[in-house]
Structure 1
Amino acid sequence: MAFLATYPPLAQVTVLNDPNIAIHAVLEVPPETATEPWQLSLWYCNGDGGDWALIEFMADSPNAIPTDLSGTNETATRLYFTAKLEVASSLTFTVKFRRGGKHEWRWVRTEQGSDDGIVVVEQKRQGVESEDLPDLIQDLNPDLRWQSHMSQSPGTRLWSIEATVDGANEDESAVVDIPLGIPWGRFFRWFALVRTWTPWLAPRQGKSEFNLDKDALLCSFLSPQGKHMVLLGMSGVDDVMALLRSGDSGRLMLHIRSDNAGSATATALVAVGDNFESTVATVMYHARTLVTSMAAGTSAALSVAEMTAEGDVSPQWYESWYDGLGYCTWNSLGQELTEQKVLKALDTLAENKVNISTLIIDDNWQDIDYRGNSQWQHGWNDFEAEPKTFPRGLKALISDIRSKHKHIQHIAVWHALLGYWAGLAPDGPLAKRYKTIRVARDEIDKCQLPIDGQMTLVAREDVQAFYNDFYNFLSSCDIDGVKTDGQYMLDTWTSPPIRRTLIPAYLDAWTLASLRHFSARVVSCMSQSPPILFRSQLPHTSPPIVCRNSDDFFPPVPDSHPWHLWTNAHNAHLTQHLNVLPDWDMFQTVHPYAGFHAAARCVSGGPVYITDVPGRHDVHLIRQVTGITPRGKTVVFRPSVLGKAMDVYAGYRQGQGLLKIGAFHGRAAQGTGIVGVFNIEERGVVDFVPLGRFPGVMEGRRYVVRAHGTGRVSVPLEVGETKALLALSLEVRGYEVLCAYPLHAIESRTGGLVLVANLGLIGKMTGCAAVLNTVFEVRENGRMLVDATLKALGVLGVYISALPQLSVRDDFMVTIQGQPIPPHTVALNNDDEHVLNIDIETAWNEMGLESGWANEVEVKVYFDLGR
């Protein structure tokens, strides 16, 4: 079986700025056939509606081939080819190949299900663009009002579209669908984030026909000229929610719901730009401006300054909450939670030397009434834990945990925003303590959660007291965080007046209480509903909180795992602009997709927490995700720029190759570009990752790229070189984490250049994120100093181009905290002779060093440049 990939890729649209292009191909074939005369042909159509033509690929010479960072594969050999041609405005192409002149041609579309690739040559701007919105949206509805605005993102233009909608009555919202038009009149690809159901968003992609199965919050369209048009439906202003949907003939529609008692205005934002991320940023920045200005004149959530003025919010250092390894009881201990199960699980973790920093006691610890036939009808009785399964109460359990497991710094408990899934128990102590109301719930989500009927809620007048009392109780039990779930329930109430009054009351009260009592150590869950997203998460008026970024991790459902990564990576394009830290949910370290999930959590930039069944832990995998600080804390390594999907218009399992998630760590121009690659297909995949696509990588600079899984390090690379194309081959469930490190050039005493890079902790998936600072300096005596400050212990890797000519014993001196380290902790890397391994963890322990006041370690590497 042969597999083929190209760059520019098949099944995608690639925008380039040079009409003279080279199409590179890698063909993976059985080793016994590698010496045969394999042939590749490029079948292409140059321009829009032109004739199709054929040219042959030429085999690459051995010294001008892409860089292979994959592991040794005895079952396949990779062959490389190139075809060069000039593109008019756009190019559509596919590939056919055969083993030799005696064999039949095989089309990639037939063999692998890969659609044609498209290359668009970016049009150069000629002065100020004159098109206005009616020129960009074909058949723009004349009944809509539109106006242009100043864009806050370079290279983009911005408009708002408004529509008037009638007022709601006491029982029903005003709902209307309004035609908008066809973006560009014609487009190559579209991308959307839709409401899969009330709590969650998920991506959708398509080609020239716009056809949504669900209402979308955000849509983007790629024009034949390589431009992006992004539309965002606004919520949280004037009690109106505007979403996007498809209509007849692929027409874009506005779907509007108004809870306002009077006539109101629905708003959608439109931006156009050359770059997808900048264009999304344009609509998100303006949306924040609109929501913030609206909130300034209403009783919206208090700002941090206002809350601090009340004297009950203290500043906190968030490193241990965001950066510590967490453990959640949900999938690990099941839904029949008991005090004994929690204590045994923690003992087992300790016995396996899995030192967590945060514990989340999930659902089923609360005292509920067990009414109805499922948990979705149960109501909450009282603050104290379930007396049968937690007979000693919550405080005694937490006291035992903290006294026995000193490494656990934070303990959080789960609760629904409204108390429990059905609110309060109608006859319970809480319902008697606070003023309550009965509200009806919409049955639209019964296929997801059967939450039919009415629920008992704390009335608006007592909501703030309710949260304050509950969180005071938790604090008295030494609980210092919460996971607040089921927030979407606010958007299931059927009454417009109830939504108008209770949604802001609950959201603002919870935000204020969580900040007062837990200093924002919270996880917001099931809260991707537009009224919540725009009111609580878009404004930057309080410290950011952890917020679930997608639907759940489902351990027993095989198909859910690649989709889980796909969804989170695409949702991040929206959630990166919110005042949240996106949480890609827990995972299990002993699972067929364990490493797959672990790598995704590392590149996500969000928190990392596991839900292992007691005694079932992959300690080796956990060590690739975490490290120990000089003070003995277990931390994870979060990139400073969040991970996001790099090919938003590519469809799920549509022959698009590997899922690529890009992140970045460090300062601009000095930091490390990160690309996590994941095989989401049901077959092996071979693919290219160009150096120029790594986030933060700059033209004209040299880099080395290291693959975490194989340990392989590239030769020095520059954007645009053929060898700067990185070839990867991954089996089903395969993954890899690639890091591009900028090289620092030093002139040696003999006149040659020595290239140096700090690779961070090389045993960690995102070990570059362990680096806090690096200084490269040439000393007066001609020796080189690499001064690295790290947040955790481990094996530090330093790339030195001249290392093969140096002696580790004679030419190097390494110190930690100013003291020389044992010589045996410094050695050449087994995978690459240009990498020096410095085992600072072993050295630290053998030297008996102590952290003192610092929570970091300083490593200085001196070596001779004279050779």
Structure 2
Amino acid sequence: MSARVISYPPLGQTTCLETEKIKFTVILEVSSGHDWEVQIWHNIGSSDWSGLSLQDASSTSVPLLSGHQDSQVRLVFSEEISRPEFESGTAKFTVRYREGPTAEWQWANGKQNLNDGELIFGSMDTDSASSADFTKYFDHLSPEVNVEVRKSEAPGADLWRISGPVEEAQHGQQGVANLPLGVPSSVSRFFALVRLSTPWLGPRQGGDQLAWKEDAILCSVLRTDGMHVVLLGVSGVDDVLTVLGSGPGGKVVVKSQNDNLRPAQFQILAAAATEFEIAMSALVYEARKIVRPYEVSTDGLEVQWLSSWCDGLTYCTWNGIGQDLTEKKILSALDELKAQGVKISGLIIDDNWQSLDNEDAHSWSRGWTRFEANPKAFPQGLKKTVATIRERHPNIEYIAVWHALLGYWGGIAPGGELAATYKTKEVQIKSAARKSVLAIDPDDIQRFYNDFYNFLSTAGITGVKADAQSFLDLMSDPEDRRRFTTSYQDAWSISSLRHFGPKVISCMSLLPQIIFHSQLPTNKPTTVVRNSDDFFPDVEDSHAWHVFCNAHNALLTRYLNVLPDWDMFQTSHPYATFHAAARCISGGPIYITDIPGQHNMALVNQITAPTIQETTVILRPSLVGRTLDMYNDINEGHILRIGTYTGRAQTGSGIIGLFNVSTTTKSCILPVSDFPGIYVDDTDRAYIVRAHTNGKIAESLNSTSTVSINLAQKSWEILTAYPTHSLTLSSKSIHLAVLGLLGKMTGVAALVNSDINISSNGRLRIDVSLKALGILGIYISDLTRWDIDDDFMVLISGKPVPRKTVWKEDGRVLAVDVGEAWREMGLKAGWGNEVFVSVFLG
């Protein structure tokens, strides 16, 4: 008889444990419920393998919140085992099971083609786990490097600065250093963020020996004692670029380039901590200190709040309309959006609006001639196009245009107005597309950007998408790199802030020099930075990787002074909901690039909500979403878990998006303590967990509880954990949670504030303020015993709502259609932008 096995800790994965007890939970999905036996076969605390028999725990249940149950019977088995007496170390395990005592044992790892699970027992004493001696973590440390202990700003982390010499640039060639740093010791798993190409980063993972082909800017090692040792190459200081490579035997190799005419020092920061996030915090705090003397001043520039730019739904012309861009096509696409009810607040006019030479040639062979738009496509000029858009579509508040950092893919056209007006220089580049490009000379780049952005502002443009910033790293001559790299970054930053505030998108800019010089410092407003390579609608294999890559890149970009942008997507596409869910939990902006007329309104309504000011907003969580399992490779077949949090500390909600990035159905057991903001030792607080796709709720949970999901290929789920309020009403205990807006992927992010209390007259009062309209959901544990007509009163802005806008959903959720009530009651927003709902019970 076949059976499907789901376990926690999971098979084929490494799990760190710092608790005194190890609890195994196994779900067995079978066609009949006979006398099944389940064992954990393990070597915990011994070199010999033995069996731990699990007890039938089906009465406690592990709720299945998403996906279908493939079998008739779902059995739960569980048991605890004490951790070994040794301070730290590793063990392995698998699951075996059989139907009755006479049947043969079946092995889950063989049946499901999975490796054994690995357990790492981290030290229970964090002080003893720490060591200021860097050689504890690296063998064969190079004698050519200097290791300096630094004071960590992140409690619980040890911190070092590693430096060494880099020779000077000579004869038009960069000075280089290439030396083995050493071999990380006691490695269980590694994770690296590598340069997939000049502008883009991506993850690489592996086992106990470090190996990757590309240059990495970040490398993290999970040791067998539970410590995370993280290395960060520092670039953008003194014109030195430093990355990390891997060598034979798992060596870490320092690869540094110096553009100076004098010798310089490369710098690497290293941190060790029991948690990856603590080590990352230590590195980022120290890196900011290093780059601080090189920050460009933006004092005196007026800026606007980021939320006004990023909280609306934006349409981008790139995939939807394509490169053959015209005013007519843009207006037609906007009319189609309006006709189908897609209400956007932002528009990005992407590539090919500019006046270029060499018509019909490839983009890399075309240069920019003048500021004014292409006269054939925009016959009355950019300003007239913008005015027409605003007249016909007053809901569009922000209009941005695309341009390359050097002007266009082919730079500046030699015979154009721009080349005649500004000082230029021909620079050699390392590219298969062309050998050189004409660019504005750094001596004139600030004037150029001031004039260009003044032209755009006068035309009614409110923001820009500055692409192809990686050209700064393609320049081959050290002198050009010295003169162009920081000059262009600073000129663009100053001019964009002066004219557009933070309403800019920095694209193709995940190169080390820009990360450290422009994106790490906190002396200017947060700006939007593209977090990964493009969304490719027609490349089947790209979609799971796109989400996977963004979730891992966010492990670094969430610490920068940026808002990660996971790129546009199309709402009518086989992976549409997959991408939409990822964008919602990313914490960044949401852009769509639909082909005109091909819009999925049901999906649009899940990712947006109308406001009382008659605008449309997206519902961004408070924190940037990132992977919870940085050491899992995409090819290992695990469910990708992306975690974020919204609301205030202790009272907010943890959110986990789960994405099946494999080619087969996958399942997992999810501990409640894995939700961001929930701690495993906080067992007194009660929670519920709700699934977005079907509204299922798991009740009466604490931090040690578990839930489960089954996901088919291309499937996903968003689970939200809500802390519940426990009160006594009418002599009975009642548990409540404000869920936010139902039917929205991140509906809890619509909550501005909520308050639950018992009034002096003994009535329960729930006050909620929302940033958008929709169906408000309130979980009430014993809702079935209350009658809406007899026991409830619901008010908006102090006025009773129509009775038809209040109902019970699934027996435990009070639903209030705030949007319908607002319209029927004829309420007006006034100066405010929030809607206030009060619910009385009792």
Q: TM-score range by the shorter chain?
A: over 0.9
1:637 paired with 2:637, answer no
Task: Give the 3 Å change call, closer, same or farther, for CA 168–99 of structure 1 in structure 2.
Answer: farther
The reply to whether residue 488 of structure 1 matches residue 483 of structure 2 is: no
Match of 1:401 among 389, 403, 412: 389
Tell me, what secondary structure is at the counterpart of 1:635?
Answer: strand
SS of the residue corresponding to residue 641 of structure 1 reads coil
Aligned to 1:133: 134
CA distance, structure 2, for counterparts of residue 406 and residue 718 of structure 1:
48
Amino acid at match of 2:40: L
The SS at the match of 2:752 is: strand
Equivalent residue, structure 2, for 1:615? 597
Q: Distance in 2 between matches of 1:174 and 1:150?
A: 31
2:111 paired residue number = 111
Alignment check: 8 A CA contact 2:29 2:71 kept: no
| Structure 1 pair 126–785 and aligned structure 2 pair: CA distance change class (3 A) | closer
Alignment of 1:660 onto 2:656: no
- Alignment check: 8 A CA contact 2:67 2:711 kept: no
Structure 1 residue 355 displacement after superposition: 0.4
Is this contact kept in 1: 2:235–2:513, CA < 8 A? yes
- How far does residue 225 in structure 1 lie from its aligned partner after superposition? 0.9
Q: Deviations over 1:407-433 (max 9, x none)?
A: 101000100011001210111111111
1:746 aligned onto 2:742? no
Q: Counterparts of 1:702-781 in structure 2 under 5 Å?
A: 702-720=686-704, 724-750=705-731, 752-781=732-761
Structure 2 CA distance, aligned partners of 1:279 and 1:159? 11
Distance 2:72 2:771 in 1: 40
* Alignment check: 8 A CA contact 2:303 2:498 kept: no
Distance in 2, Cα, partners of 1:371 & 1:255: 42
**Which whole-Å CA distance do the structure 1 matches of 2:127 and 2:748 have between them?**
42
Q: What is the identity, as a one-letter code, of the residue corresponding to 2:297?
A: L
Look up the SS of the partner of 2:735 in the other structure: strand
2:507–2:530: 8 Å Cα contact kept in structure 1? yes
Aligned-partner SS, 2:11: coil
Q: Deviations over 1:475-532 (max 9, x none)?
A: 1110100011000000000011111111111000000000001112001000001011
Q: Which amino acid aligns with 1:383?
A: F
Identify the residue that residue 10 of structure 1 maps to in structure 2.
11
**Could you tell me whether the CA contact under 8 Å between 1:210 and 1:250 is conserved in 2?**
yes
1:144-182 CA distances to partner (integer Å, 9 max, x unpaired)?
101111111111110000001110124111122111112
Of 54, 57, 71, 1:57 maps to 54
Supply the distance in 1 between the matched residues of 2:772 and 2:836 (Cα, whole angstroms). 10
Q: Distance in 2 between matches of 1:819 and 1:249?
A: 72
In structure 2, the CA distance between the partners of 1:344 and 1:59, relative to structure 1 (3 Å rule), is same
Superposition deviation, residue 559 in structure 1: 1.0
C-alpha separation between the residues in 2 aligned to 1:433 and 1:124? Answer: 67
Using the alignment, how far apart are the partners of 1:55 and 1:655 within structure 2? 26
Judge conservation of contact 1:371–1:377 (CA < 8 Å) in 2.
no
8 Å Cα contact 1:71-1:710 kept in structure 2? no
Q: Secondary structure at the match of 1:271?
A: strand
Cα deviation for residue 278 of structure 1 reads 1.1
Report deviation, 1:127: 5.0
Which of 566, 584, 588 in structure 1 is aligned with 2:566? Answer: 584
1: CA distance between counterparts of 2:323 and 2:754?
47
Deviation at 1:55, TM superposition (A): 3.5
Alignment partner of 2:797 out of 817, 822, 837: 817
Q: Distance in 2 between matches of 1:540 and 1:191?
A: 27
* Structure 1 residues 331 and 548: CA distance shift in structure 2, 3 A: same
Equivalent position of 1:419 in the other structure: 407
Give how far 1:76 is off: 6.2
Partner amino acid, structure 2, of 1:375? S
Q: Is the 8 A contact 2:637 2:661 kept in 1?
A: no
Once residues 180 and 802 of structure 1 are traced to their aligned partners in structure 2, the CA distance between those partners, rounded to angstroms, is 62
Select 1:529's aligned residue among 498, 504, 511: 511
Alpha-carbon distance in structure 1 between the residues aligned to 2:214 and 2:92: 30
Query: Per-residue deviation at 1:25?
Result: 1.4
Is the counterpart of residue 624 in structure 1 residue 606 in structure 2?
yes
Would you say the 8 A contact 1:170–1:497 is kept in 2? Answer: no
Contact 2:237 2:291 in 1 (8 A): yes
Equivalent runs, 1:46-445 vs 2, <5 Å: 46-47=44-45, 50-61=47-58, 63-73=59-69, 77-88=73-84, 89-98=89-98, 105-125=105-125, 129-183=130-184, 185-292=185-292, 294-295=293-294, 300-303=295-298, 306=299, 308=300, 313-370=301-358, 373-443=361-431
Partner residue of 1:606 out of 588, 591, 594: 588
| Counterpart residue type for residue 488 of structure 1 | S
**In structure 2, do the counterparts of structure 1 residues 371 and 242 end up closer, same or farther at CA, with 3 Å as the change threshold?**
farther
* Kept in 1: contact 2:306–2:502 (CA 8 A): no
Residue type at the aligned position of 1:177: N
In structure 1, what residue type is equivalent to 2:315?
Answer: Y
1:348 Cα shift?
0.2
Distance 1:195 1:242 in 2: 12
Q: Distance in 2 between matches of 1:236 and 1:687?
A: 42
Secondary structure of 1:622's aligned partner:
helix
What amino acid sits opposite 1:778 in the alignment? I
Cα RMSD (Å) = 1.7
Aligned equivalent of 2:32 = 34
Q: TM-score, normalised by structure 1?
A: 0.94
Q: Is the 8 A contact 1:629 1:635 kept in 2?
A: yes
CA contact 1:9–1:117 (8 Å) conserved in 2: yes
**In the aligned structure 2, how far is the partner of 1:379 from the partner of 1:144?**
45
Q: Following TM superposition, by how much is the alpha carbon of 1:316 offset from its aligned partner in structure 2, in angstroms?
A: 2.0
> Do the aligned partners of 1:112 and 1:655 also contact (CA within 8 Å) in 2?
no
Residue 702 of structure 2 aligns to a residue whose secondary structure is coil
CA distance in 1, matches of 2:528, 2:17: 37
- Per-residue deviation at 1:37? 4.4
Amino acid aligned to 1:111: K
Q: Is the 8 A contact 1:209 1:250 kept in 2?
A: yes
After superposing the two structures, state which structure 1 stretch, 87-96 or 801-810, moved more: 87-96
Q: 1-side partners of 2:533 and 2:29: how far apart?
A: 36
Secondary structure at the counterpart of residue 455 of structure 1: strand
- Give the secondary-structure state (helix, strand or coil) at the position aligned to 1:621: helix
The structure-2 alpha-carbon separation of the partners of 1:127 and 1:531, relative to structure 1 and needing over 3 Å to count, comes to closer
Q: Residues 630 and 659 from structure 1, CA distance in 2 versus in 1: closer, same or farther, beyond 3 angstroms?
A: same
CA separation of 1:147/1:725 partners in 2, compared to 1, >3 Å: closer, same or farther?
Answer: same
- Distance in 1, Cα, partners of 2:741 & 2:646: 13
Cα pair 1:704 1:743 within 8 Å, conserved: yes
> Aligned partners of 1:411 and 1:386: how far apart in 2?
17
Q: Contact 1:375 / 1:421 at 8 angstroms: preserved in 2? A: yes
| Aligned residues of 1:325 and 1:626 also touching (Cα < 8 A) | yes
What amino acid is the match of 1:827?
W
Structure 1 residues 558 and 76, CA, compared in 2 at 3 Å: closer, same or farther?
farther
Provide the C-alpha distance between the structure 1 equivalents of 2:554 and 2:159, rounded to a whole number of angstroms.
22
Give 1:802 shift.
2.4
The reply on whether 1:806 has 2:786 as its aligned counterpart is: yes
Specify whether residues 99 and 453 from structure 1 end up closer, same or farther in structure 2 by C-alpha distance, changes over 3 A only.
farther
Q: Secondary structure at the match of 1:523?
A: strand
Partner of 2:526: 544
- What secondary structure sits across from 1:210 in the alignment? coil
Q: 1:74 to 1:135 in 2, by over 3 A?
A: closer
State the match for 2:671 in structure 1.
Answer: 690
CA distance in structure 2 between the aligned counterparts of 1:74 and 1:92, rounded to whole angstroms: 29
Q: Number of residues paired by the alignment?
A: 833
Taking structure 1 as reference, are residues 126 and 154 closer, same or farther at Cα in structure 2, changes over 3 Å only? closer
The equivalent position to 1:505 in structure 2, one of 487, 490, 495, is 487
Query: Which ranges of structure 1 fall in alignment gaps of 5 or more residues?
Result: none
Cα separation, partners in 2 of 1:504 and 1:52, compared to 1, 3 Å: same
Q: CA deviation at 1:56?
A: 3.6
Amino acid at match of 1:43: W
Q: Which runs of no fewer than 5 residues in structure 2 stay unpaired? A: none
Corresponding residue for residue 653 of structure 2: 672
Is the contact between residue 42 and residue 96 of structure 1 (CA under 8 Å) also seen in structure 2? yes
Aligned equivalents of 1:201, 1:351: Cα separation in 2: 39
- Output the TM-score relative to the length of structure 2: 0.97
